[in-house]
Amino acid sequence: MPARMRHVRAIAVVMGATSLALAVSLPAQATTHRGTGIERAVLPAGDGWASADGSTTGGAGATPEHVYTVTDRAELIAAFEDAGDAPKIVRIAGTVHGNSDAEGTPIGCEAYQQGGYTLEKYLDAYDPAVWGRDEVPAGPLEDARAASAKLQAAAVNVNVPSNTTLVGVGKDATIIGASLQVKNVSNVIVRNISFEDTYDCFPQWDPTDGDQGAWNSEYDNLVVHGSSHVWVDHNTFSDGDRPDADQPHYFGQVYQQHDGLFDIVRGADLVTVSWNVLEDHDKTMLIGNSDGAGASDRGKLRVTLHHNLFKDVKERAPRVRFGQVDSYNNHFVATTGSAYGYTYGIGAESKLVAESNAFTLGSGLDRAKILKKWSESSLTAENNYVNGRKTDLIAVHNAGVPAEQLTEGAGWTPTLRTRVSHPLVVPLLVGLGAGAGKPLVR
């Protein structure tokens, strides 16, 4: 074994009463090998924005000692630390738990609790009948909640380095309860993984959020933050066994333990999102997370979404600010009884092109709500089909929501498309090919 690999095995596990931030070794179970052709795949030419200005190759050039198979969170982090920014292929085998101890065994929220925090004490202290509705929580129990949340964040957030291909092995590779952070790096590929239930143990109550207050949580399953050349392909994103619809209500509001599924923010650029499934979630995808982020986001946030399935998501599929976003050949499904709010959010200075998509809406769901105007921006929306019929989404929206008129014309024409299928065949194509566990073919 090379001396460098022996050194990586010696990285200490740091786990104390005040920190669960794990600096972990590369255990014996983590193996290295040459990898296969699929794992060394690169983004095809012309396949969305991530193919521009040099394309996206991830870890395709990895040497044999930088190909890893990992089975838990400790091994995943150790592989990233071992390779650094060198080209690397990291294979997820089985299930990786973000909320876990050094041996990979799942742990519960109580493992992070600090300063005497319990949910019961928090509810008693900040009940609006006691605390009121004019100020956000403050004092010892809020401090304890914040300290507990900081401890969980150290375990849940996993940073992905540059020049990485992260790929699932077989049909059941799963990451549960971890937030993959593609932050201020470049050239990353993520494929064939089911991302589930990245939950916040310690949501904060804010009685001033809206008319009735709200519980606010942290963590997305995947975040692309300030990074470029990122390809996210054939993954599945969901809340797993902890859907928002099943969460309790406190102070009259749902105890929201999830934030987004997959966000692209803070000057991220040149991203292709293809053949994924995003399902059963509330706040699904932000492209640009603040109207005030123009200094970092203008001229960036160039994102392509194609052949994805958005199923029973409430909103933000996506919500767009600033970016030139090309969304084509996606299938959006909202079944009767689902908590459907809208699909595309038209935000500050957004330049969305939504073409040749298919929408399947259950009975009683309003086509006029497919688009939602948040700011004065124009979009292009052509050749889209709703329940099998060609539909002018802008005209339908303007007729159904006359107080929120949208104007046509995003001001640019996408060219980075490998193929555009007729919207009537999109549900079949996406149903057969999208999501983790499907063949990684183009």
Candidates 166, 183, 185, 267; CA nearest to 220 is 183
Q: How far apart are CA 428 and CA 425, in angstroms?
A: 6
What DSSP assignment string belongs to 315-379? E-SSEESS-EEEEES-EEEE-TTS----SEEE-TT-EEEEES-EEEE-TT--GGGSEEE-SS-EE
Question: Which of 316, 367, 389, 417 does the annotation list as catalytic?
Answer: 316
Whether the Cβ atoms of residue 332 and residue 360 lie closer than 8 Å to each other: yes
CB atoms under 10 Å from CB of 86, counted, come to 16
Q: How far apart are CA 327 and CA 407, in angstroms?
A: 18
Q: How far apart are CA 207 and CA 219, in angstroms?
A: 21
What order do you get walking across the sheet with 384-386 strand by strand? Answer: 95-97, 174-176, 194-196, 236-238, 277-283, 309-315, 331-334, 358-361, 384-386, 389-391
Where are the strands (E) in 71-178, listed by range?
88-92, 95-97, 157-159, 164-168, 174-176
Which spans in 200-243 are helix H? none
Distances in Å between the Cα of 195 and the Cα atoms of 20, 371, 396 are 22, 27, 35
Q: Is 316 annotated in the active site? A: yes
- Token pair of 412 as six digits: 């640019």
Residue 364 burial class via C-beta count within 10 angstroms: exposed 0-12, middle 13-18, buried 19 and up? exposed
Q: How far apart are CA 71 and CA 78, in angstroms?
A: 11
Active site members: 316
